[in-house]
Structure 1
């Protein structure tokens, strides 16, 4: 049995559009700095959102304070289809493992999950705020 999740792109736009934009490279470094050790599986709930970091990384938000950094096998997220959705296909619908897949509807390619790491969301948010404030501080000469 496969469980499939689809979430609107609105959450991505809201986080990316707030304040000064942060580059994909800086965001990935921030997520990796605040990610725990890789896990073999996580309890799969209906996620409340997701955020594309780059072509190989996605943050899956299960609850307001529970998010996971997924590393995918190769650059395979084809955003050219224009789909505002992301699907997560799990083998059993109960757990998410490094053998499950991420799919962008309209794309011919599915991406195998290679690694799942828990995120310290409070630290990530603080780091994002600091990165957004950095250009303001540089502009003011501080």
Structure 2
């Protein structure tokens, strides 16, 4: 029988709301810093977090500085709002084209079909954090100074 590795939605990765990125910008950020596909990744225990990017793409964080971009063969029903997911695995190895993502919870009695993981791509978490910091810095520098004295209107 397969081992289920569960990640609660409460431990999600830093989301797009925290730094003002749209869903498309968030997805582009991860795709930009994703390495070439790998066959598998090691997972000890449960996920540190997860973040859906669309209905067939999500980021899973396995350790504080280790994350992977997972793409499924098709859409995962209710992935966008799920409170939890589970990854099926026969051990501590999660394998592309073999293991599946199950969307859990939500209070409905709908039978969801597990989504097969098609590709696994390691993420450069340091580069992602650096780019997020740059984006936050640029956003704060673009804001008008609240302390500045108002200027007199032109006459």
Q: What TM-score, normalized to structure 2?
A: 0.76
Q: What residue is the counterpart of 1:96 in the other structure?
A: 94
Q: What residue is the counterpart of 1:10 in the other structure?
A: 10
CA positional deviation for 1:21: 2.6
Match of 1:6, SS state, is strand
Partner Cα distance (1:89, 1:34) in 2: 26
Q: Deviations over 1:90-110 (max 9, x none)?
A: 1x2231111210011155121
Partner Cα distance (2:17, 2:28) in 1: 19
Match of 2:6, SS state, is coil
Match of 1:75, SS state, is coil
Partner Cα distance (1:15, 1:119) in 2: 14
Indicate conservation of the 8 Å contact 1:22/1:132, yes or no. no
User: 1:17-28 alignment to 2 at 5 Å?
Assistant: 19-28=18-27
Greater RCO between the two (CA within 8 Å, min separation 6)?
1
- When residues 20 and 60 of structure 1 are mapped into structure 2, their CA distance, relative to the original with a 3 A threshold, is closer
Q: What residue is the counterpart of 1:72 in the other structure?
A: 72
Q: What residue is the counterpart of 2:151 in the other structure?
A: none
- Structure 2 residue corresponding to 1:120, chosen from 114, 118, 124: 124
Does 2:91 match 1:87? no
Partner Cα distance (1:58, 1:42) in 2: 15
Q: What residue is the counterpart of 1:29 in the other structure?
A: 28
Structure 1: tracts of 5 or more residues without a match: none
Partner Cα distance (2:82, 2:76) in 1: 14
CA positional deviation for 1:41: 1.3
Q: Deviations over 1:41-79 (max 9, x none)?
A: 122322222111221111111111111110111222414
Match of 1:124, SS state, is helix
List 4+ stretches of structure 1 deviating above 6 A: none
